[in-house]
Amino acid sequence: MLMMQNVIPNPGFGTFRLEGETLKQSIHAALEAGYRHIDTAQFYGNEAEVGEAIHDSDVHRSDIFLTTKVWFDNLEPSRLKVSVDESLQKLGTGYVDLLLIHWPSPEGDVPMADYLTALKEIKAEGKARHIGISNFTCNQVDEAVSILGKDEILTNQIEVHPFLQNRKLAEHCEHLGIQVTAFMPLAVGKVMDDPILKQIADAHKVTPAQVALAWVNQRKMITIPSSTKARNIQSNIAAFDLVLSDSEMDDIAMLDRQERIANPGFAPAWDE
């Protein structure tokens, strides 16, 4: 069952590390299963293939919520605008539904006011219906809000899974009215081996992956799981019909061990 939270269809279908025919087939399977949110990025190197898959599908472009992200080496305002035009050309569309800054500028090399102002101008030109941020810390979220106003920032896309619950940052965003989008919700498959998640899954006759996705959903977050297998694509969206008990949510809360997977050398100083 496809859920709507804010204006972003939930779940979305993530395309990180997918390419070629595998990517196209996965997107077709996702759209057939009922997904209406496709997430890509300049860094993924697959925008053209994502665009082709959407164009070749039976689902009209206007019914798909399409997200892409600007890479950090494109944050200088004039370069940012050129890169977005390049992304739109690759995607074969005149606009994206959501345009994110993928990472804040490393070491603040490009002032945040410069690239966020450019982002807002792109929205004003009709090339993005919504704008947002990704991998921004509490302090960076506050700075972004001071530049754009909180109502301008639709989401902060951050790593969230049972082993990195990111509660401080998530609650800070929610307090400001900024939707949290959780990426890597399955912790690159690690959720499948956790005894607690297995126990809860067995009780519901589902998979640990479905438990993890239901947990994210009950935290009122958008999430963007990825898979190349049609059965997993279908079971991931089916997870949004699963309701966990308060005690099960409490058990999962105990799994947080600050296990961060997306932590490149240019990452900001994370919130503790």
Q: Would you call 162 exposed, middle or buried from its count of C-beta atoms within 10 A (0-12, 13-18, 19+)?
A: buried
Strand partners, 157: 134, 181
Residue 192: its H or E element: none
Q: Is 44 a catalytic residue?
A: yes
Catalytic residue among 35, 44, 95, 115: 44
Question: Using CA atoms, how far apart are residues 159 and 243, in angstroms rounded to an integer?
Answer: 22
Question: Using CA atoms, how far apart are residues 201 and 125, in angstroms rounded to an integer?
Answer: 47
Question: Using CA atoms, how far apart are residues 232 and 213, in angstroms rounded to an integer?
Answer: 12
Question: Using CA atoms, how far apart are residues 193 and 195, in angstroms rounded to an integer?
Answer: 6
Question: Using CA atoms, how far apart are residues 182 and 187, in angstroms rounded to an integer?
Answer: 11
Supply the Cα-derived Rg of the chain in whole angstroms: 18
Residue positions annotated with a catalytic role: 44
